[in-house]
Structure 1
Amino acid sequence: MMAMPTESTVAFAVAAPLRGRYKSVSVVRSRRTAPVKAIAAAPPSAAVHSALLLCATAANTGLLPPTHASYAAINRLAVPLSLPLLLCQADLRRIIRDTGKLLPLFLVAALATTVSTVLVVRLVPLPFASQQDVFKIAAALCARHIGGAINFAAVVDTLRPSEHLVAAVLAADNIVVAAYFALLLLLASNGKPSLKGRPQPQQQQQQHQHQQAQSTDADGMYNPPFNLEQLAISLSASSLIVFAAQMLNKLLPISPGPIPLITLCSILIATLFPSTTKPFHSASTSLGIFLTQLFFAVVGVSSGSIISVLRASPLILLFSFAHIAFHFILLTLAKFVLRLDFDLCLLVSNAAVGGPTTAAAMAVSKKWHHLVAPALLVGVFGYAVATFIALAMAHFVLV
């Protein structure tokens, strides 16, 4: 007779996909072949989706119960705790200083995503979902295609759309995003786009040294080893930030909700105390990814029948495809109207849709080594702003 699953089963189920996270952090350092570098970008987001699909399969085959008391605890704790961990690198002063033209271009890409969110809600119906659920999941997709999976999780945790719809959207969006990354790599040229225009001859050596320093610094954002003490301090600091933000949320006369306050507090700490948070970047990022995986694992377990999800997927696939297609079309139009560098537009689009690691991998695979650190930084900036933008869309636009 099969033993009943315990609280540790969900954590065990996501342990295998988590292995990809530690391979992915070496994406900046690995420079052997373009295909390897391009594929290496996938694990952080792919591991999250693997956790969801693995646990959904386990639930549908009876290995995991569809409901359990531990799921509520994970839903209550995973997203708030992961936000400070993943925003540990969101030093706004450094982002503004080191990203050059990428930051304003990223803002154009984020604007393209917000406009595409409105268009897709109006033009692509989802008859099997309520209008409110469509608005909520569109806002979550907006967060994902400006920031990343953690922003998607934060918006889902705040707005609470149907778990069935969340699982279906993630499964479909994973397919669309993978194809979109391939398209971006195909369209990008093999030239070397500049962040600040053509350098003068006397500046070239100094610029080369600065680019080497940036590339080395980018290695340091995701690659340094970490120990249990750093993990413990990172988790403790994250818990304190969450507690402080929740207390502040109760004291404010108009409550914005805990998630926006946690995000704001995390960004302020990363910006005001960069030297204090820097030693914990790698530990915080890895632990944040793990907590995000736990959240999506529970979404997978609670999503219901995989057959019903697959039945809804064609329309969901169109919904996700249209969202990214409108984003790309609008960004391309902005390129022609504003006379922007197309390669840089492709890179910031990758940073918006995929996040910092996929953007860095694209820069490495195209041998744009001087753009690796700026690409990482604008991706982290996406983490910082995506939740605010998506929640504002949900409350003021998608109504």
Structure 2
Amino acid sequence: MHQTLISANDTWVLWAILAGWAAVSIYLEQRFKWAAKLTGAIIALLGALILSNLYIIPTDAPTYDAVWNYVIPLAIPLLLFQANLRKIWNESGRMLIIFLISSIGTVVGVTLSFFFLKNAIPDLDKIAGMETGSYIGGSVNFAALAAKFHTPGELVSSAIVADNLLMAFYFFILIAMPALSFFRKHFRTPYIDAIEKDSTSGANNQAASYWKGKEVSLKDIALAAGSAFVLVALSFKLANWFDKLIPSGDHVNFFYNLLNGLFGDHYLMLTTITVLAVSIFHRFFENINGAQELGTYLIYIFFVVIGVPASVPLLIENAPLLLIFVLIIIIGNMIVTLIFGKLFKFSLEEMILASNANAGGPTTAAAMAIAKGWTELIVPILVVGTLGYIIGNYIGTAMEYLLSHVM
């Protein structure tokens, strides 16, 4: 491992970089049109990628673990405070269909990629399972499946580099698609058309317009933060209790493993408890201002962190074929999403966000919806994209088993 300018134990400096660059990314996104088109999420990721590849910051540090362990769990409920299922079912139900279609595209891409490269990359069945989870729910699933499969550390590092680089590349493509005449000609774009017809909206930076100032009181901040902590603590305690109560592992049958996975998973329980609480006590949560802003800022810190492990020299040295492997997955996802999205008359915006949610998770998709001004799709893609956290691990596990035993 190379010596870096800032050591892994320099906690405060690393926090300053993570939190500071997240703030800079948000500022740039709302201040400049070029940054709004790129999105703050990509700016955050690229900044970390540059810093890590110039050996300014380390690729692994306890500070990054803290983001995974604490920042992400707190961000999820904050972002779901407006997710009253009774209000958004019609839109979310539609988004769910295209999201699942896009997930099928991931499975198709993984299968083809494995078939072409299974003799060239060691332990590719495990990588295939990890990447299936990653491209159905994002990096959270990648980490969970890497631990589940006991994948060798150097292979995990190379795979996450390929994953992050290709994910960033794919986000660039998704961001650019609405501006290309081919897609505007062959696909419906109702949300883009509405923005272009609205001269005021068209003249402004969409991210800045969406995140315009609103009245936020000390009570709002206290209730938002306090509720998030309570929901995380309650959900994680329940998940731990179910994990101990329900047996799992190779020695028990599939049904028990399924139950353990459903009730013993921290993120699944957190999402379930939050959505239930918000749907039941919707007046309380809907009246809290500032929760979405707090949650989004925390997610921007996460965007910075996922760009850190993308070490280009490590990828070139260890596993350049992994880039091709992940590229085939992305192409499979895109082709299936566009073909069947067109067939079932989905809009281009819905297809782009569904594919984004598969590749990066609900938060990257919501960030793109915000940046593009597709405000009606923000909460639906957050809710539906969160499903990727749930099904991604199961589909990834199933793919690893099938590819290792059948193909």
TM-score for the superposition, normalised by structure 2: 0.68
- After TM superposition, list the pairs within 5 Å mapping 1:92-241 onto structure 2: 92-98=85-91, 101-125=94-118, 127-144=120-137, 148=138, 162-186=156-180, 187-189=182-184, 193=189, 224=214, 229=222, 232-233=225-226, 235-240=228-233, 241=235
Q: How far off its partner does 1:11 sit? A: 1.3
Q: How far off its partner does 1:158 sit? A: 6.2
State which of 367, 387, 402 in structure 2 corresponds to 1:357: 367
- Note the aligned Cα RMSD (angstroms): 4.2
State which of 12, 22, 38 in structure 1 corresponds to 2:16: 12
Name the amino acid aligned to 2:88.
I
Q: How far off its partner does 1:234 sit? A: 5.0
The answer on whether the counterparts of 2:369 and 2:375 sit within 8 Å (CA) in structure 1 is: no
Q: How far off its partner does 1:388 sit? A: 1.5
Q: How far off its partner does 1:170 sit? A: 0.7
Matched, 1:397 2:399: yes
State which of 306, 312, 324 in structure 2 corresponds to 1:296: 306
State which of 284, 291, 294 in structure 2 corresponds to 1:283: 294
Matched, 1:318 2:351: no
The match for 2:278 is 270
Q: How far off its partner does 1:134 sit? A: 1.0
| Identity, % of aligned positions | 17
The match for 2:252 is none
The farther-off stretch of 321-330 and 253-262 is 253-262
- After TM superposition, list the pairs within 5 Å mapping 1:372-387 onto structure 2: 372-387=374-389
Name the amino acid aligned to 1:130.
D
Q: Deviation digits for residues 61-97 of structure 1, max 9, x if unmatched?
A: 6x64x76666655554454444434444443333323
The match for 2:339 is 333
The answer on whether the counterparts of 2:99 and 2:385 sit within 8 Å (CA) in structure 1 is: no
The answer on whether the counterparts of 1:234 and 1:283 sit within 8 Å (CA) in structure 2 is: no
The farther-off stretch of 326-335 and 218-227 is 218-227
Q: For the structure 1 residues 176 and 88, does the alpha-carbon distance in structure 2 shift closer, same or farther, using more than 3 Å as the test?
A: same
Q: For the structure 1 residues 251 and 285, does the alpha-carbon distance in structure 2 shift closer, same or farther, using more than 3 Å as the test?
A: farther
Gaps of 5+ in 2: 192-197, 199-205, 248-255, 402-407
Q: Deviation digits for residues 133-171 of structure 1, max 9, x if unmatched?
A: 412431243234xxx555656666766752342133212
Q: Distance in 2 between matches of 1:21 and 1:105?
A: 30
Q: How far off its partner does 1:351 sit? A: 5.5
Q: How far off its partner does 1:391 sit? A: 0.6
The answer on whether the counterparts of 2:103 and 2:136 sit within 8 Å (CA) in structure 1 is: no
The match for 1:198 is none
Q: Distance in 2 between matches of 1:113 and 1:221?
A: 32
The answer on whether the counterparts of 1:225 and 1:282 sit within 8 Å (CA) in structure 2 is: no
Q: Deviation digits for residues 347-372 of structure 1, max 9, x if unmatched?
A: 6445555512213434x4xxxxxxx2
The answer on whether the counterparts of 2:77 and 2:228 sit within 8 Å (CA) in structure 1 is: no
Q: How far off its partner does 1:293 sit? A: 4.5
The answer on whether the counterparts of 2:370 and 2:378 sit within 8 Å (CA) in structure 1 is: yes
Q: Distance in 2 between matches of 1:133 and 1:69?
A: 26
Q: Distance in 1 between matches of 2:54 and 2:81?
A: 33
The farther-off stretch of 331-340 and 278-287 is 331-340
Gaps of 5+ in 1: 196-207, 209-215, 365-371
Q: For the structure 1 residues 237 and 220, does the alpha-carbon distance in structure 2 shift closer, same or farther, using more than 3 Å as the test?
A: farther
TM-score for the superposition, normalised by structure 1: 0.69
Q: Distance in 1 between matches of 2:267 and 2:150?
A: 13
The answer on whether the counterparts of 1:109 and 1:352 sit within 8 Å (CA) in structure 2 is: yes
The answer on whether the counterparts of 1:84 and 1:266 sit within 8 Å (CA) in structure 2 is: yes
State which of 256, 266, 269 in structure 2 corresponds to 1:261: 269
Q: Distance in 1 between matches of 2:398 and 2:159?
A: 22
The answer on whether the counterparts of 1:347 and 1:359 sit within 8 Å (CA) in structure 2 is: yes
